Amino acid sequence: MKVAALYDIHGNLPALDAVLAEVPGDAEIVFGGDVFAGPMPAETLTRARELGSRAHFLVGNADREEAPAEEPGLARYHWVQAHLSPNDRSWIDSWPQTLTLDVDGLGSTLFCHGSPRSDVEAITAVTSKDRLSELLKDVNERMVVCGHTHHQFDRRLDDVRIVNAGSVGLAYEGRRGAYWALLGPDVELRRTAYDADAAAAVVRATTYPDPEEKIEHWLAPPSAEEAAEVFEQQALAEAR
């Protein structure tokens, strides 16, 4: 099978719609976590449901029902939760942390959000071999697809290939767009253009708390190098 890996949508429905228009009709779709937490949560979940059985879902750290301690995250958390139905919440709670699929040309492929063992552990383009070896020590698959750090990469550790699909809805790539990966028979790291200015106007017309911070990342995203360094330093600090 072919698989479209769509990660870190963060409730950005215009970005998701643009990507879905480019996903081949014969591809399965893996939603790799952090699907709905953003300015259009219910609408994003509705669109994902419409894909039926070809769609597979992983839980991300932002999908789990945990309230952050500080603002503006706390206000956004309550706003998003208010837009989810009980059926939505029950469905989200059923999403697994990992998924393994047999992908054409790539074989058994493990999909996870952060690392294979935790949806909050970061793998970046600059993660050291020692730390990466620890994160992957219990993995049997030779292909791992992750997200969480919102920047694409394709790297190897010995005989394991690790791909970050990037972020559909909140990419840190130094360039506007929705970033994702198409797998089978090889790996294509893809960028899909969408109208971020129009998406920003839609969000500004809602009651989503403090929208400008999110919109700024859509319109002037940080670079992949900046994102990798920030996430890596956070991961090293947490490990101490």
How is 193-218 classified by DSSP, letter by letter? ---HHHHHHHHHTS--SSHHHHHHHH
pLDDT of residue 65: 74
The answer to whether residues 92 and 59 touch, using CB atoms and an 8 Å cutoff, is yes
pLDDT by residue (tens digit) across 92-113?
999 999 999 999 999 999 999 9
> Between β-strands 143-146 and 178-183, what pairing exists: parallel, antiparallel or unpaired?
unpaired
Checking if the pLDDT of 238 tops 90, the result is no
Domains belonging to the chain, first-starting first, are 2-99+166-239 (3.60.21.10)
pLDDT of residue 239: 78
pLDDT by residue (tens digit) across 132-177?
999 999 999 999 999 999 999 999 999 999 999 999 999 999 999 9
Under the banding of pLDDT at 50, 70 and 90, the label for residue 77 is: very high
pLDDT by residue (tens digit) across 24-67?
999 999 999 999 999 999 999 999 999 999 999 999 999 997 77
Checking if the pLDDT of 180 tops 90, the result is yes
Distance, in Å, from the CA atom of 41 to the CA atom of 10, rounded to the nearest integer, reads 8
Distance, in Å, from the CA atom of 214 to the CA atom of 80, rounded to the nearest integer, reads 14
pLDDT of residue 126: 97
Mean pLDDT of 11-17: 98
- Report the percent of the chain where pLDDT is more than 70: 100
For 47, the token pair is: 């669109």
Find the DSSP H helices in the chain: 13-20, 41-49, 73-82, 86-93, 129-135, 196-204, 211-219, 224-239
Distance, in Å, from the CA atom of 78 to the CA atom of 221, rounded to the nearest integer, reads 25
Mean pLDDT of 112-123: 97
- Report the percent of the chain where pLDDT is more than 90: 93
pLDDT of residue 240: 73
What DSSP character marks residue 19?
Answer: H
pLDDT of residue 31: 98
Checking if the pLDDT of 218 tops 80, the result is yes
By CB neighbour count within 10 A (0-12 exposed, 13-18 middle, 19+ buried), where does 81 fall?
middle
pLDDT of residue 71: 86
